[in-house]
A and B are shown apart, each in its own frame.
Chain A
Amino acid sequence: MKIESITLENFQCYYGLNQFVFENGLNIVLGDNGEGKTKFYEAIFWLFNGDKFNLESLISKKKLKENYNGDKFFVSVAMTVTVDNLEQKLKKSFKVQSRAQGIKTEGFEFVGINDNDIGEREKMDGDKLLDYIFPPQIRRYSMFKGEAELDIFKSGEQALSNLVKSFSNASHYDEFCKYGKYLMNEAEKAVNKDVKLSTKSKRQLQLLESAIDKKRRELSTLDEQLKIKDTNLIKIKADLKEADKYFNNAKHLKTLKERIKRINDSISITQSRIVTNYTTRIFDDKWILMFFEDIQKEFNEKIKHEDLLRRKEEKKFNMEQGAKELSEKILNKITPLPLGVPSASHMEEMLKEKICKVCNRGAEEGSEAYIYMEKRLDEFKESIRPKKENQKEILFKKNYTQKLFSLSDNYTKRLIEIRKIEPNLKDVFEFNERKNQELKELERSLEKEEREIQKIIAKSKGESELVNIYENVKVWSNQELDIEKSKVRLVGEISRLNKDLKELILEKEEIDSKEAKSFLIDTRDILRDIETIFQDTRELKYDEFIDLINTKSNEIFATINVDDFTGKINLIKYSDSRGEQIKIELLTTEGEYENPNQSLETTMHMSILFAISEIASEISSEGSGNYPMIFDAPTSSFGLKKTMDFLNLVHSTDKQRIILTYEFVGRDDKDNQVIEEEFNSVKRSKAFWLRRDDFIKDDLSTINTNVTTL
């Protein structure tokens, strides 16, 4: 059976008609989380299993809004398949009307269109056609959502009995066993009845029978107990196995946390060393003087200039002073008499009498001669007076500018300091640049470690759970030991009881043989043997079937094993209180491989599923041999590279497989979705890309998925 196409019409985020045309071999549907991948899977699931309830939730909101108060429209999922070269179609649909009063759904139907071999098309019931083209027991093992669903032998799932019923004739033998047992019991009863008729060993017989009964009841009780212990043991072992995974995760987590702490410490240290006090250093480190050199020079020039000016003026002044003094002393170029000649008293006398006694002329007050004499007297008086320090006239009375000159003197020293600023700044910037780089690196590695932690936490449910698990493991390990011990005791008891029982039965049968009619005994013996034959044959058939799955699984495992794991899958049958179960083991040359990682487990489960699919196609009496399989995100734990390898290997098996995945969808720098380059090297028959239109957060009617064929 090959799926030719699947068409979604107004189904959830698929507005309008969206057709997917499939090929044989590997078909890949790519879509980031939330883009419509799982809705696609659910559409198929609804086609196969959906009923007429809760239809409203399936309607495309966009279509609803568009057709508000408008025409009726359809919501449907349709699938076209070919079986033995004949086309068959299935369509599940209903009509929708959207009004102010509400949404009305009607006309739910599941229709099949069957092309029969005389070229006629006949309409028929969808469920009937579905069961014909894709039998339920096969369907059940052909569609899987997520990695966890792949483990079909999870305890309690009755997968083995389902599989046997579906794909093996081993189930026929169950009937015979039942029959054989019944007949044998009847024969036993007949013998007992006959023996009782004879009174000879009645009492002995009665005792034996009651003893046998008692032992049988005891045995049954103990058997029950044993079964329960086994069930508990298996659960505890499973829990311990999970815990072990978590232990490893917990240890890993601890290591990662330590690494993160170390990185954070480095970050703190690096951050603290980055220079931030630029503004204060402008002052403290003299950076503010960075361009001061020119001004310094200007200043120095000015000072020099002022100094020159000063000295010039001083010189001029001194010269002037000197000249003035001299000129006053030289009157009419005649060398004056020295001071004190005539003497002061003579001068005073002459002044008093207003007569110059030297030239015997009168000198009236105010006359030139009188004034001359007065002046000479003053000069003489002046010259004999003790001179005050600053009495002499000076030019620079103040010395306000002393500091400026001394500032100018340190010129060179200061220039050197100013010139150091630029290289200093450069160093600081470079240092900071380096520290910032270091910081970036540290933060990158921090991000990486934190992503690792998130992955582990996601896988192991959560940090706090890890703590619980630590504590539980101790408890469980003790419980495990206890159960094993008590099992040993039980088994011993059971074997003792069995022995006793055997003896009692032998005793009884001796009496039987003696007392009962021989043909009854013979009949009983034959029927016993028949029962044994039936039982053993049934066991054999079951084991053959499991071997078949085992062998096929390993063949496939060898081809799709991306982990380079050298080992084999081993399926083991065991019974517990709920019936017969299968345990999956991985065996290497050293024994059982405990705790396979998630991707190895997934590969294991996929191999088994592919094997079952092959067996189904070989055994199935109706429909064409091969059936497609549909997986939604089966390789989440694989990562990009392993997924690539895995898909390539699946493609090489050449059977129709539809795999939905979010791998290979990434984002570019503008945060647009892109298909990663690696996808080009993935071998496939067909590929699709699901992308949602940009939508408005609270307006569901804007959600719509677009399908692009790659």
Chain B
Amino acid sequence: MTRRDMLLRDFMVHPIIREKYKIPPSKIPATLEEGLNSSYPIIKSISYMIKEIKKSPKKSEKEVDKLIRKLLNESPL
């Protein structure tokens, strides 16, 4: 269990995930890998942010922003 996996888990316990997005427990990722492959845009976005933010050298914020946008646009909502 890496630190990044724990980070993701910390975020996943937030009520918004369950209540607003109605994501069932089975679909909540246990690792960052799973999160990056999630079909839910919000999970994927968060996972991606974790991956990028913890990377060094850090990508510029603008680049990440573009990527995220792309992510969100691509996935079916």
Taking Cβ atoms with an 8 Å cutoff, the residues of A that contact B are 169, 172, 175-176, 179-180, 182-183, 186-187, 190, 519, 522-523, 526-527, 529-530, 532-534, 536-537, 540-541
In whole angstroms, how far apart are the Cα atoms of A541 and B64 in the complex?
25
Least CB distance from B10 to A in Å reads 5
Known: A522-B77, A527-B68. 15 other contacts (CB 8 A): A172-B7, A176-B50, A179-B49, A179-B64, A180-B49, A182-B61, A182-B65, A183-B64, A183-B68, A526-B45, A526-B72, A527-B45, A529-B16, A532-B16, A541-B10
Known: A526-B41, A537-B10. A519 touches B61 (CB 8 A): no
Contact with A along B25-63 (1 / 0, CB 8 A): 000000000000000011001100110010000000100
B53 touches A530 (CB 8 A): no
Q: Can you list 9 A-B contacts (CB < 8 A)?
A: A175-B53, A182-B61, A523-B73, A526-B42, A527-B68, A532-B14, A533-B14, A537-B10, A537-B11
In whole angstroms, how far apart are the Cα atoms of A186 and B69 in the complex?
10
Known: A182-B61, A537-B11, A541-B10. A530 touches B46 (CB 8 A): yes
| Among candidates B3, B14, B53, residue contacting A176 with C-beta atoms closer than 8 Å | B53
| Among candidates B20, B46, B65, residue contacting A186 with C-beta atoms closer than 8 Å | B65
Taking Cβ atoms with an 8 Å cutoff, the residues of B that contact A are 3, 7, 10-11, 14, 16-17, 20-21, 41-42, 45-46, 49-50, 53, 61, 64-65, 68-69, 72-73, 77
Q: Which 4 A-B pairs have the closest CB atoms?
A: A533-B14, A523-B72, A186-B65, A529-B16
A522 touches B72 (CB 8 A): yes
| Among candidates B3, B45, B53, B73, residue contacting A519 with C-beta atoms closer than 8 Å | B73
Chain A: CB-nearest residue to B77: A522
In whole angstroms, how far apart are the Cα atoms of A526 and B53 in the complex?
18
B61 touches A523 (CB 8 A): no
Interface-central residue, A180, A183, A526, by most chain B CB under 10 Å? A526
In whole angstroms, how far apart are the Cα atoms of A338 and B7 in the complex?
172
In whole angstroms, how far apart are the Cα atoms of A169 and B54 in the complex?
13
Chain A: CB-nearest residue to B13: A537
Known: A172-B7, A529-B20, A529-B42. A519 touches B77 (CB 8 A): yes
In whole angstroms, how far apart are the Cα atoms of A433 and B36 in the complex?
98
| Among candidates A176, A190, A529, A532, residue contacting B49 with C-beta atoms closer than 8 Å | A176
In whole angstroms, how far apart are the Cα atoms of A187 and B69 in the complex?
8
Least CB distance from A597 to B in Å reads 42
A190 — which chain B residues lie within 8 A by C-beta?
69
A183 — which chain B residues lie within 8 A by C-beta?
49, 64-65, 68
B7 touches A533 (CB 8 A): no
B3 — which chain A residues lie within 8 A by C-beta?
169
B53 — which chain A residues lie within 8 A by C-beta?
175-176, 179
Least CB distance from B47 to A in Å reads 11
In whole angstroms, how far apart are the Cα atoms of A187 and B16 in the complex?
19
Least CB distance from B67 to A in Å reads 11
In whole angstroms, how far apart are the Cα atoms of A183 and B16 in the complex?
18
Known: A519-B72, A526-B41, A526-B45. A534 touches B61 (CB 8 A): no
Chain A: CB-nearest residue to B61: A182
B65 — which chain A residues lie within 8 A by C-beta?
182-183, 186
B42 — which chain A residues lie within 8 A by C-beta?
526, 529-530
Chain A: CB-nearest residue to B65: A186
A529 — which chain B residues lie within 8 A by C-beta?
16, 20-21, 42
Chain B: CB-nearest residue to A517: B73
A522 — which chain B residues lie within 8 A by C-beta?
72, 77
Chain B: CB-nearest residue to A533: B14
A523 touches B16 (CB 8 A): no
B45 touches A530 (CB 8 A): yes
In whole angstroms, how far apart are the Cα atoms of A540 and B7 in the complex?
13
| Among candidates A175, A186, A534, residue contacting B11 with C-beta atoms closer than 8 Å | A534
| Among candidates B11, B41, B61, B77, residue contacting A533 with C-beta atoms closer than 8 Å | B11
Interface-central residue, A179, A540, A541, by most chain B CB under 10 Å? A179
Chain B: CB-nearest residue to A538: B10
Least CB distance from A170 to B in Å reads 10
In whole angstroms, how far apart are the Cα atoms of A540 and B14 in the complex?
10
B11 — which chain A residues lie within 8 A by C-beta?
533-534, 537
Least CB distance from A525 to B in Å reads 10
Interface-central residue, A180, A186, A541, by most chain B CB under 10 Å? A186
B21 — which chain A residues lie within 8 A by C-beta?
529
Least CB distance from B66 to A in Å reads 9
Least CB distance from B75 to A in Å reads 10
In whole angstroms, how far apart are the Cα atoms of A533 and B17 in the complex?
9
In whole angstroms, how far apart are the Cα atoms of A176 and B46 in the complex?
10
Least CB distance from A606 to B in Å reads 32
B50 — which chain A residues lie within 8 A by C-beta?
176
A533 — which chain B residues lie within 8 A by C-beta?
11, 14, 16-17, 46
B10 — which chain A residues lie within 8 A by C-beta?
537, 540-541
A182 — which chain B residues lie within 8 A by C-beta?
61, 65
B72 touches A536 (CB 8 A): no
Interface-central residue, B7, B10, B41, B49, by most chain A CB under 10 Å? B10
